[in-house]
């Protein structure tokens, strides 16, 4: 039997208050208030409203979020998305038309810390499943050198955030 990721929905006309913890993928199109913890993916639909601190592997926002977002992997905010809070992530995509009121910090050390935790844990399948490329990469020795040291212009390998 092939194992598939679990998928759950909080529909458009629903409301929930509390602590949400899950594996796999959850889509919220209704109203959620509380805390969210996951090693999976959280999708907030266009009509979704979340009042919570979000701690997930990946988040995709098309609706509205009031709270801080902490991601191990990525955050993406689609054109109708609204975020009122701070974001800490390794990778972020903010599309045109987004409302983002808060600060953003790119934190690549989170992936390094997760890699170290996975190496010291007997049950590795959780993090290796989430980050299969970490299994064979030596992130700790990766060094990125700027192409144009001393210049104020971004180098080709620098990321420029525009919204």
Which residues have CB under 8 Å from 38's CB, separation 6+?
Answer: 20, 21, 22, 23, 26, 55, 56, 57
**101 and 121 part of one domain:** no
Same domain, 137 and 66: no
Q: 4-53: per-residue pLDDT in tens?
A: 567 888 889 999 999 999 999 999 999 999 999 999 999 999 999 999 99
Cβ contacts of 52 within 8 Å, gap of 6 or more: 20, 32, 33, 34, 35, 36, 65, 66, 67
Same domain, 102 and 49: yes
In degrees, rounded to 5, the angle at the alpha carbon of residue 154 between the alpha carbons of residues 153 and 157 is 155
* 8 Å CB contact between 64 and 49: yes
Query: Range of 126's domain?
Result: 109-141
Task: Name the pLDDT band for 131 (thresholds 50, 70, 90).
Answer: very low
Residues 70 and 117 in one domain: no
Give, as one character, the DSSP assignment of residue 136.
T
Q: Are residues 130 and 92 in the same domain?
A: no
Q: How confident is the model at residue 62 (pLDDT cuts 50, 70, 90)?
A: very high
Q: Are residues 60 and 78 in the same domain?
A: yes
Same domain, 17 and 95: yes
Contact residues for 130 (Cβ-Cβ < 8 A; gap 6+): 39, 57, 72, 73, 114
75-111, pLDDT tens digit by residue? 999 999 999 999 999 999 999 999 999 999 988 765 5
Distances (CA, A) of 31 to 12, 34, 79, 85, 118: 8, 10, 20, 17, 34
Residue 137 lies in a domain: yes
Cα gap 130→20, rounded to integer Å: 19
State the pLDDT at residue 35: 96
Task: Give the count of domains, the chain.
Answer: 2
């Amino acid at each position: 039997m092939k194992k598939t990721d679990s998928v759950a929905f909080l529909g458009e006309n629903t409301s929930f208050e509390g602590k949400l913890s899950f594996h796999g993928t959850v889509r919220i199109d209704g109203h959620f208030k509380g805390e969210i913890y996951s090693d999976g993916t959280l999708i907030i639909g266009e009509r979704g409203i979340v009042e919570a601190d979000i701690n997930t592997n990946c988040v995709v926002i098309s609706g509205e979020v009031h709270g801080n977002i902490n991601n191990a992997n990525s955050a993406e905010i689609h054109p109708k998305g609204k975020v009122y809070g701070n974001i800490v992530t390794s990778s972020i995509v903010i599309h045109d038309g987004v409302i983002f009121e808060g600060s953003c910090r790119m934190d690549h050390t989170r992936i390094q810390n997760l890699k170290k935790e996975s190496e010291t844990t007997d049950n590795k399948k959780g993090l290796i499943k989430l980050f299969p490329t970490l299994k064979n990469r030596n992130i700790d020795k990766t060094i990125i050198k700027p192409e144009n040291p001393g210049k104020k212009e971004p180098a080709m390998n620098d990321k420029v955030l525009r919204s």
